[in-house]
Structure 1
């Protein structure tokens, strides 16, 4: 499989390593301000850039009909527009707030725990995410996906940044520390005890492997998908 890497920072370089280990070829590596001219040589495009550039990238890439794996977060409010573009151009894309296989299992565990806790209203739920200091969006896309997975079960309509407890909103504490790959926790607590589930990423390899697996899966498919589709969860 011929892969184009759009975004060639730390994540792009890790994706390249994993892709080569799995027998694929990287035909172009596009960093900031580089030309996208060689993108048409690829069978699939893996996009890990920034919230500021992702929509312009997708508007350029979708009409090419080359399958896209989009790992950039911070564009959820544009999902409807992107979905319409995918349908219009008969293209294909996998998007995810997190491509890690472990995190996607964690998403399902989060939903099951929230369903169990729905009958115990004496517990308050709160969340925390920790990332490296270079991460620009807060809370993380992964944290927002976790919130979406528990919101209905715990009867919370919104999330807010910070640690204050609010009646209709889940607090998400977003911390930025040096060289943290990503840690997410969901905690239910009352005066008696606490129940907490946590996912901790030790390296970027998990995100990279998931994106390459998604790239292998999307070939010859049309439409817009998530990692839940890729992994059959």
Structure 2
């Protein structure tokens, strides 16, 4: 598979390394300050850039008829616009707040736990996320996905960052040196606390998941999710 990398920071470089190890080739790569290769030769594009660049990069791929996998967060106010463009162009598109196989399994565990805990009103649920100092958006897209799955089965109205309001789900966002990504869901009562935790040890999990998603899009048209890529049933 010939891959275009839209965004060539730490994640883009990790994807390149693992893609080459899997026998793929990287025919194009770009960042804010450089462009190298031939975009139109790509069989799939993988996008890990910045919230400011994501929509432009996704549009570029869809307009060119190249399947696009996007892992950039912080731009989702334009998500429906990108879905409409994908449908208009009969394209292929996967967005995920996190491509790690482990995190996507965690998403399903989290939703199951939320269903299980729903009748037990004495437990207050919260979400905590910890990332590296360079991460621009807060809370993380992964934390938002976790919160949205909880809210489907909870009486809280919405999620809010660093809130003490009882009717909103509190997301605590922390930025620390060299943290790849940690997410913790806690159900706390006066008697005990139940916690679910996912901790990434390297960027390779995110990169491998993105490559899996790009491989999945081969010969497919439409909008897909990581649940479909991994065969996770609802």
Q: Deviations over 1:115-143 (max 9, x none)?
A: 01001000100110000000000000000
Instruction: Determine if contact 2:27/2:37 at 8 Å carries over to the other structure.
Output: no
Q: Give the C-alpha shift of residue 156 in structure 1.
A: 1.8
**Structure 1 residues 40-189: aligned runs within 5 Å:** 40-162=40-162, 164-189=163-188
Per the alignment, residue 211 of structure 1 pairs with 210
Q: Deviations over 1:54-110 (max 9, x none)?
A: 112222221111000101011222221111000001111111000000000000000
77-86 or 199-208, larger mean C-alpha shift:
77-86
Q: Give the C-alpha shift of residue 37 in structure 1.
A: 7.0
Q: Counterparts of 1:183 and 1:118 in 2: how far apart (Å)?
A: 24
Q: Counterparts of 1:20 and 1:35 in 2: how far apart (Å)?
A: 19
What SS does the corresponding residue of 1:3 show, helix, strand or coil? strand
Instruction: Determine if contact 2:92/2:217 at 8 Å carries over to the other structure.
Output: yes
What SS does the corresponding residue of 2:173 show, helix, strand or coil? strand
Which consecutive residues of structure 2, in runs of 5 or more, have no partner in the other structure?
Answer: none
**Structure 1 residues 22-37: aligned runs within 5 Å:** 22-35=22-35
113-122 or 55-64, larger mean C-alpha shift:
55-64
Q: Counterparts of 1:219 and 1:178 in 2: how far apart (Å)?
A: 38
C-alpha RMSD over aligned residues: 1.2
* Number of residues of Structure 1 aligned to a counterpart in Structure 2: 232
Instruction: Determine if contact 2:5/2:29 at 8 Å carries over to the other structure.
Output: yes
Q: Counterparts of 2:228 and 2:36 in 1: how far apart (Å)?
A: 29
Distance 1:73 1:13, change over 3 A: same
Per the alignment, residue 13 of structure 2 pairs with 13
TM-score by length of 2: 0.96
Q: Counterparts of 1:219 and 1:194 in 2: how far apart (Å)?
A: 44
Per the alignment, residue 38 of structure 1 pairs with 38
TM-score by length of 1: 0.97
Q: Counterparts of 2:173 and 2:201 in 1: how far apart (Å)?
A: 18
Q: Deviations over 1:183-207 (max 9, x none)?
A: 0000000111000000000000000
Q: Give the C-alpha shift of residue 36 in structure 1.
A: 7.3
What SS does the corresponding residue of 1:165 show, helix, strand or coil? coil
